[in-house]
Amino acid sequence: MSTAATDTRAKLIESARDLFMIQGYHSTGISQILKRAEVNSGSLYYFFPTKEDLLLAVLEWYRDHIEDDLLAIHTAHVSDPVEKIFALLDGYRQMLHMFEFEMGCPIGNLALEVTNTHPAVRSLLLVNFEQWVDSVEGFLNEAADRFPEDLDRRALAVHILATMEGGVMLARTYRSLRVFDNAVNQLRDYIERLLIIGSTWSAPKSATKIEESI
Amino acid sequence: MSTAATDTRAKLIESARDLFMIQGYHSTGISQILKRAEVNSGSLYYFFPTKEDLLLAVLEWYRDHIEDDLLAIHTAHVSDPVEKIFALLDGYRQMLHMFEFEMGCPIGNLALEVTNTHPAVRSLLLVNFEQWVDSVEGFLNEAADRFPEDLDRRALAVHILATMEGGVMLARTYRSLRVFDNAVNQLRDYIERLLIIGSTWSAPKSATKIEESI
């Protein structure tokens, strides 16, 4: 593919991605995508014969960027693996705030909108969710010795994803961070309670307590 | 309004409600609603000049039925207020299973789909979410003496709603109850950990312990 063709294809994917995120898949018209991308309809149909083909390309874009770009932006500067999880959740909070609740989790939005009507895209939605869960489970694994031994860390990572998706959905409806904060604060309380049990085995906590009691 | 007119209006709302739940708001055509309701287009436009008017009527229907009908079905037969919460969550699990993941939480679906594009319906979505949170908070209040005194029961009720909505979203994408169960099981683990702390103040637990040590 020529550089110009690659650019055109990338511009179409980027424009569709942004419009799907802001307006949803069904509400976005082909003409809006063309206008935003500054591309003519011939080029669109050359690369993407149907709107669903464009949706698949958008989901592939997320799949290829979620770990190294989207998740790392929020977590790379944090060293504690448990705090990486809350830094990631804070990334969604910032997005809600910055775009005044006009944007949520792009994958979550598309998941609810197209799960039934487009079974072909379901597997790509699933790949994106799995990558998210893999990353969070990885952070939990890094901190495994601070959690109870019988903790199902995969299940906890799924619970964290569910909390985020539900929290984002509520925040967008309420147009308020309060409900998102409620959901995440209770998650933090849960994880801290898990860590308290896990941390009876950790030296630093006991050391501090001893210092305090002196 | 005559009985016939009331029936026609009710049939239109019921048909729109079911189609919005299965297919989403944007994917549902007016002609589909007419066919399902067995009503002609003149009657539709008489009662509901726009599709958005019909959406508002559907949300009003949920508002009027959520507490006494939809929530009570799953919780009325359970006496323990904490178990009422899990019976309610199990109701969503049953729906996912029974309809093979074709149906989720109707309010959650509409919330993600129409929050930005139809600001007028947002307040009705919010009323429905608030009623749900009120009910769950009510159950938590009934069990208040079994929880830590400083527990924000309202925030926990919001967290439970977020977990349910996120869990339903994931189950529909994965077409699997495993992810829903993961989310709800971790929630149960959290609530049990809260109850353990709460129950250090409760007589029966200590009594059992003393009996065991004898």
pLDDT tens digits, one per residue of B120-179: 788 999 999 999 999 999 999 999 999 999 999 999 999 999 999 999 999 999 999 999
Instruction: Report the gap between the CA of A95 and the closest CA in chain B (Å).
Output: 15
Radius of gyration of chain B, Cα coordinates, nearest whole angstrom: 21
Report angle CA B124, B125, B127 to the nearest 5 degrees: 60
B chain contacts of residue A112, beta-carbon cutoff 8 Å: 24, 104, 108-109, 112-113, 169, 172
* Residues of A whose CB is below 8 A from B182: 152, 154-155, 158-159, 162
Q: Which of A28, A116, A180 to mutate to test the interface with B (most CBs of B within 10 A)?
A: A116
Nearest CA in chain A to B161: A166
Q: What pLDDT does residue B197 have?
A: 61
Give me the mean pLDDT over the B54-65 stretch: 94
**Minimal CA separation from A178 to chain B, in Å:** 9
Q: Are B170 and A113 in contact (CB < 8 Å)? A: no
Residue range B92-108: average pLDDT? 90
Q: Which of A126, A168, A170, A188 to mutate to test the interface with B (most CBs of B within 10 A)?
A: A170
Please tell me which residue of chain A has the smallest CA distance to B100. Answer: A116
The predicted pLDDT at position A210 comes to: 38
* Interatomic CA distance for residues A155 and A162, integer angstroms: 10
In angstroms, what separates the C-alpha of B48 from chain A's closest C-alpha? Answer: 21
Residues of A in contact with B193 (CB under 8 A): 190, 193-194
> Would you give the distance in Å from CA B88 to the centre of its chain?
8
Please name each of the domains of chain A with its CATH number.
Answer: 1-49 (1.10.10.60), 65-205 (1.10.357.10)
Q: What is the C-alpha separation between A203 and A145, in angstroms, rounded?
A: 12
pLDDT of residue A198: 54
In this prediction, residue A12 carries a pLDDT of: 96
Average pLDDT over residues B90-102: 92
Greater confidence, B198 or B38? B38
Q: Do A115 and B172 touch (CB under 8 A)?
A: yes
Interface A-B: count of C-beta contacts within 8 A: 166
Q: How confident is the model at residue B200 (pLDDT cuts 50, 70, 90)?
A: very low
DSSP assignment string, A69-122: IIIHHHHTT--SHHHHHHHHHHHHHHHHHHTTTS---HHHHHHHHHTTT-HHHH
Question: pTM for the full model?
Answer: 0.88
CB contact under 8 A, B159 and A183: yes
User: Chain B partners of A179 at a C-beta cutoff of 8 Å?
Assistant: 158, 162
The interface pTM score, or ipTM, of the predicted complex is 0.87
Say which residues have a Cβ less than 8 Å from residue A213's Cβ, sequence separation at least 6: none
Tell me the mean pLDDT in the region B76-87.
Answer: 95
* CB neighbour list of residue B189: distance below 8 Å, 6 or more residues apart: A190
pLDDT at B206 over 80: no
State how far Cα B141 lies from the chain centre: 19
Cα separation, A129 vs A123, in Å, equals 10
pLDDT value, residue A116: 65
Q: Which residue of A has its CA nearest to B183?
A: A159
Q: Which residue of B has its CA nearest to A165?
A: B166
Q: Name the packing angle between helices A153-174 and B177-198 (round to 10°).
A: 90
Instruction: For chain A, list residues with pLDDT below 50.
Output: 200-214
- pLDDT 10s digits, B158-171: 999 999 999 999 99
Q: What is the pLDDT of residue A104?
A: 83
| Mean pLDDT value across residues B2-24 | 90
